[in-house]
Each structure stands twice: as C-alpha cells, then as structure tokens.
Chain A
C-alpha cells in the first residue's frame, strides 16, 4: 500500500481566457510530486507560479485539465479526500457575522461533530490558538493575526490527516508567526502531514522536510531540504572559545593546501526574527517581575 498522503501525477491546469480555443493560459504544466505521510512539504515559488492552483486542485475546488491528484488514495474531487484535509487559506474567509466559537461550531458540524464532543473540541482548539477570550466576539472585529489563528483552529477541527496551509503567516507579526511555525512542528510530531505553500523562504526552510520549487507552472527542483540547500564543494566549521592563535594555525593549515581556500570568515549571526523574539520575551519577563 502506498504511503503517500498526496500524489500529484502529470497534473496540468489550463484556464481559458476567452471564447477562442487558442485563448488560454497554462497555470500548471505537467506537475508531478508526492508527499509522504507524516512529512512537512513546502511548495515554494513566486506569485503566479501555480502554487495556489495546485492547492485548489488538491482541495477539489478545481479539477485538473490533465493528470490526477490523489489524497490518501482518493481522487481530490472525492468527498472522502476532503474529509482528511484541514485547509487554512492565505486570507481566512469566514462569515463575519459569526463569532469565533460559532465559526468553529459551524465547521465542526459540517465535519460531522455534534454535542459534547464538538463543544470539547471547540474549547480545546480555542485554547490551542489562544483565543478563549475572543470566542464570543464576531469575526468582523478580529485582527488579521486573530483571523489567521481561528483559521488554523477551523482547519484542525475534524482532526485531519493532512493540513494544507497557504501562506500561513502572511500578515502575522513575528510572535504569531513563530507560534504558527511551532504548531506546524507539533503537527509533524503527531504524524500529521503538512502541505505548505509559501514564498517566505526562511519559514519554509525552518519547518519543511522536503521542498518543491515551482516556477511558471513547472517543478524546477524538488527533494529533501538538506540536500537542496547544501553546497557540496564547501565545508563550514563553527568554533566556540577559539583563541586567535588557534584560528591563525587553522588558517596556516588551509593556506598550506594548494586546492583549499577560505571563502568566508566571521562570527555567526542570529536572525532578525530571533533577535526580535528574544527581546520581546525579556521585555515581557521584566514587566512581569515589576
């Protein structure tokens, strides 16, 4: 039995632009890739590269013009495939007249949950996305970050085996962004497959096991992240507590070799995001101490 959560086989999607047969645009061209059960797969590419179209086909919102997309062995148009998928769109699209709790209730009921089981699940997810305090507020009054979090909660309501995330951190502040990334890693820990579409490359690099790079509807590179980003002809070493004399010796050793050169030397840097988060945390701790 195949261990594939998602299987995209020679998928092509063509959109007609007018009434003429010759008036069309190829959004996705002969795309093939597989997502193994339990892995985090990132599909990256610039705007208009075909990421969203691929995702919509996987969700059954569109049918492929050629080829096939299967989710846990079911055709993507099959209702049983959608039963296994939790989807977080880039801009969460919900009824603004519903409250956070009502939104989860609505989505839960659509997935067959009722009564106490649904009530418990809603409470559990509201706690997870830290929206217990805003559960009774209408979504019209939610901020972008809050909408994204309630979107994530509704995506998880039916305990799906596959979670599809479209730009999950778009418009979210760095702390919220970090929370979402932690959630993705937690999903992976629990054996849930994650299909992530993003153009925030750093984010993809942090959470994905495998990555596909799509450009103009075609898969350009695909494989395990570590292999894709590795520069095979270079080696890096990071020292801690090395004295200048030791570094000088290492430099001399390398210079003595005719084939080897030092390409770069300096101090490793943190990211702006890590710096921001550590500062926010220390500020918060200091406030709490006061």
Chain B
C-alpha cells in the first residue's frame, strides 16, 4: 500500500546536535553575503587604483628603491585595510543584528550562541582572507612586471658597455630580486591576516556588551594602538622596580589583557627584503590561536546570558 505524502504542516523536525559546525558555516556564509551586499569589495578597486598610480610613478632612485617603495606602500595599504575592516565590519554586524532584531529570528532557531559568535567571526575572516589574496595578487603582478622590466634593462645596460664582470652583473640582479617578488612576501600577508583575526575577536568581545557600534570601534582602535606598545610595557614591567602602583597596574593590564600586536610587526622586515624567522611565524600563529580562543570564550561569557 502506498503511503500518502506528508502534509505541509506535519511535524517532523530533525534531531538536533549539541554543537554543529554546519550551523556555524551557515551563519558565516550569511555574514559573507551580508558584507558582500554591503559592497565592501569596492575598496579593492581603490587598491588597484593605488597600484596603478604607483606603477606610473618614476621616482629618481635605483630600481631596487622603486620596488621597495611599491612593496611598502601596497603592503602597508593591505595591512591597514585588514585591521580596519576587521574592526568596522565586526563592530557593525552583531549590533546590527541586535538592533534590527534579526538575532530574534536566528536565536529562536536551534542555534547555540557560541555557534552564532564563531559564525560571525568566520564570515568576517573569510572576507578579509579573500580581499588580502586579491590584493596580494594585484601587488604580485605589479612587482613581477616591474622586476622583469628592471632586470632586462640592467642586463642590457651593463652588458652593452662590457665593462662589468659576470659577478658584478649577478650582484646587481640579486639586489633587484631581493626587493622584487619573493615567496616570503606571503608570510607578510599571513601576518596581516592573523593580526586582523585577533582584532576581529577583540571587537566581537566588545560588541557583546557595547551599547553602540561606535563605542566598539573606538575602543578597538585604542586597544590596537596600545597593543603596539606591548614590548615597551613588558620591558617596563620586567626591568623597572621603582614604578608607582598605578603605573605598574596599567603595565600589568596591558601585558595581560591587551593582545601583543607588535608580534606581527616582523613582517616589515620581510617586506624590506630581510630573511624570515620561521620560529617567529609559528610563534605568531600559535599565539593568534590562543588569542582567538580566549576572546571568543570571553565573548561567550557575556553573550550567553544576554537577554533580547
């Protein structure tokens, strides 16, 4: 005997798991759609314009100097974009959901609050990762084309007079290549990404209790600035014994509660053509993971009892 099809209303909800990575990904992809439809990718056009302007400039300096300038400006722009975007988008997403009460709809479904928080964070990080990859692609293309052009020009000029030895030509080419496109530059991009991931997790924590997006943005920027004085705070803490109680308290707070954004500054050396310390890269990645876990946990502590 054939069974009649179930009614549109017939109750048959699916069993629900205590934690679902699938639900996290649904929230993450919805955040990505939200950010994309907010036309956040338009800044990529601005970045491309900066590169075009840089490429058209011909400053009175050596080829290596020109390549170094292109790298410093484009990687600097990428870094600023990454952390600024992390702060602004994260500070807007959760308060907007609360303000528009979209959170009602989401949290009245079988969704855990931790899944919501992680989903939002992953959505922001995905957009940052894609943007950084695109910007790095544009920058790499520009560097490669300039580098090839300079090498061809130098080779032509040095070999024309026949007054330079092969070693001298090689040294000159190596100098250009050092400032050109190198695989290690990817680590500088990774550093920007990891730094923005920490910035986003700090902002998520702030936006779980902040009354406005503006408050979250201002405090996140302040924490970002203070986080760059981490080494200074640490050395004061370790080596100064005659600090006042207040100064000592502030230094301890900076050391314990503010992420060390200085850790990611080693990428400046990579951009300038210095060698990469891989132990520092692992340290940076590991510490980023710790920061993410700590700030998501703190966010959950506030968010879990929040009433809407």
Contact = CB atoms under 8 A, between A and B. Distances in A.
Contacts of A89: 101, 104-105
Contact of B12 (A79, A87, A98, A159): A159
Nearest to B102: A93
Contact of A93 (B30, B100, B111): B100
Given A79-B18, A110-B23, A156-B8, A93 B109 contact: no
B16 interface: yes
B30 A106 contact: yes
B33 interface: yes
A111 B34 contact: no
Given A93-B105, A109-B22, A110-B109, A62 B14 contact: no
A111 B30 contact: no
A110 B111 contact: yes
Interface in B111-137: 111-112
B257 interface: no
B106 A97 contact: no
A102 B30 CA distance: 10
A98 B22 CA distance: 20
B94 to A, nearest CB: 13
Nearest to B110: A83
A77 to B, nearest CB: 10
Contact of B14 (A79, A94, A112, A125): A112
Give chain A's interface residue range (CB within 8 Å of chain B).
Answer: 35 or more
Contact of B107 (A60, A94, A156, A191): A60
A111 B109 contact: yes
Contact of B13 (A60, A91, A93, A161): A161
A61 B308 contact: yes
Nearest to B103: A93
B9 A61 contact: no
Nearest to A190: B9
A160 interface: yes
Q: Count chain A CB atoms within 10 A of each CB in B23, B30, B106, B112 and give the residue with the most.
A: B30
Contact of A61 (B23, B107, B110): B107
A187 interface: yes
Contact of B112 (A63, A79, A84, A113): A79
B16 A110 contact: no
A276 interface: no
Given A95-B102, A192-B9, A83 B14 contact: yes
B8 A59 contact: no
A161 B11 CA distance: 5
A84 B27 CA distance: 20
Contacts of B308: 56, 61-62
A190 B10 contact: yes
B187 interface: no
Nearest to A162: B11
A61 B304 CA distance: 10
B11 A94 contact: no
Contacts of A61: 104, 107-108, 307-308
Given A60-B107, A110-B27, A158-B13, 6 more contacts: A61-B108, A61-B308, A80-B16, A83-B14, A93-B100, A107-B105
Interface of B: 7-16, 18, 20, 22-23, 26-27, 30, 33-34, 37-38, 100-112, 305, 307-308
5 contacts: A62-B308, A79-B16, A93-B102, A110-B23, A190-B10
